[in-house]
Structure 1
Amino acid sequence: MAEEKKKGYPKIAQANWFGLRDKLKQRVPGEISASYVASAMGMAEGSARANVVSPLKALGIVSEDSKPTELAYDWRDDSKYPEVCEKIIESIYPQELQDLFHTPDAQMPSCQM
């Protein structure tokens, strides 16, 4: 019997999430490429591609051709930010995770062995 592949969910380090959001508040580039993210965040291009650009595409902030989406413009807007986060959560994450971590102060379980 084949082992079922576990589904991962997009995640971005907090420093990269807010650092890039701050950059987009200043000016939204025509393309949010690995090169752009690497330069903006002071990281290697491969790391930027895997750890920032790829999740941003999965979240709908960046299109498959690396262009900022309408969601990207709303994501950088402080007045629309909570609404954007809610939209992302509802469209990407399953209901069981939404039920488990339904408040901003919800604690992630620790992994102890």
Structure 2
Amino acid sequence: MADSPTAYPKVPAKAWRALQERASSAPSVKFSPQYVASLLDLGSPDSARANVVNPMRRLGLIDDDGGLTDRGRKWRVKESYGAACQEILDEVYPDDLASLTDNAGAIDVTKIQSWFEHSGLGTSNARQMAATYAMIAKKQLPEAGSAEANSQSGQRARSEPRKAKKATVQPPKPTETTVHEHGSNPGEGVGGGDGHHLPKVHLDIQIHIPADATPEQIDQIFASMGKHLYGR
């Protein structure tokens, strides 16, 4: 049992599964900080040592050289994986945690996190330690592609960056202009009731008169224009 809150390990579920799979296929592998940093694409061996290698040693799965211990050899095999997890629970964690379950008897990560917080840990550390404990207590390897296996904390999946939504620019609606007839001549502004002037309307009219039209027909054409265009 760890004798201080900070001694409880934190192992990302994604790293846990990746190392177990590598150990399963290569029992003689040595998980040195350099090797783990390369395997997990971490920033540096120091990061691998602090976040993965040391916690795995604390759980009794690898020795000082990074090789698998007897417990680690159980852990790498599917049939004995649960037994290795139980050894960890018995040796590393207090019995109190096993009783923090929900009404259905399942592991209650929220209650476990609260226990770590009451031990003097901050929220972030407590959440990660609770996630590591819950992962081990389930005695089942996180399935590939699951939220737990993809999560860096083991508790929830890392959120994908949100894609910026493309702004949709609506074209401006054409302004509807209603011209009221007040008997005014074309080209003059039409006055509104509020004293404002509506837009002026300008019409270009082309008249094609046949060359053989008689004077009477020409007079009739202009008389019709005066009637329909000018209201005369």
Fold match (TM-score > 0.5): yes
> Whole-Å Cα distance in 2 between the matches of residues 24 and 49 of structure 1?
17
Point out where structure 2 has 5 or more consecutive residues left out of the alignment: 115-122, 124-232
Once the two structures are superposed, the pairs formed by residues 9-20 of structure 1 within 5 Å of their partners are 9-20=8-19
Do the aligned partners of residues 80 and 104 (structure 1) sit closer, same or farther apart at CA in structure 2, a change above 3 Å counting?
A: farther
Q: Matches of 1:104 and 1:22 in 2, distance apart?
A: 29
Structure 1 residues 6 and 70 mapped into 2: Cα distance closer, same or farther (>3 Å)? Answer: closer
SS of equivalent residue, structure 2 residue 109: coil
Q: Deviations over 1:57-89 (max 9, x none)?
A: 100011123332111111110000011111101
Q: 2 CA distance for matches of 1:22 and 1:104?
A: 29
Other-structure match for 1:68: 68
**Number of aligned residues:** 108
Greater share of residues in helix? 1
How do 1:1-113 residues align onto structure 2 when only pairs under 5 Å count? 6-8=4-6, 9-44=8-43, 45-101=45-101, 105-109=106-110
Change (3 A) 1:84 1:6: closer
Rounded Cα–Cα distance in structure 1 between residues aligned with 2:64 and 2:109? 30
Which amino acid in the other structure matches residue 41 of structure 1?
Answer: L
Greater Rg over alpha carbons, structure: 2
Aligned-residue sequence identity (percent) comes to 29
How well do the aligned residues superpose, as a CA RMSD in angstroms?
2.6
Equivalent residue letter for 1:40: L
Q: Distance in 1 between matches of 2:15 and 2:26?
A: 16
The structure with higher relative contact order (CA 8 Å, sep 6+) is 1
CA contact (8 A) 2:23 2:29 kept: no
Q: What code does the residue aligned with 2:66 have?
A: S
1:38–1:105 CA distance, 2 compared to 1 (3 A): farther
AA aligned opposite 1:106? I
User: Deviation per CA, 1:23-55, whole angstroms, max 9, x where unpaired?
Assistant: 111103452211111111111222210111000
Q: Which amino acid is 1:80 matched to?
A: S
Which SS does the other structure have where 1:60 is aligned?
A: coil
Q: Where in structure 1 are there 5+ consecutive unaligned residues?
A: none
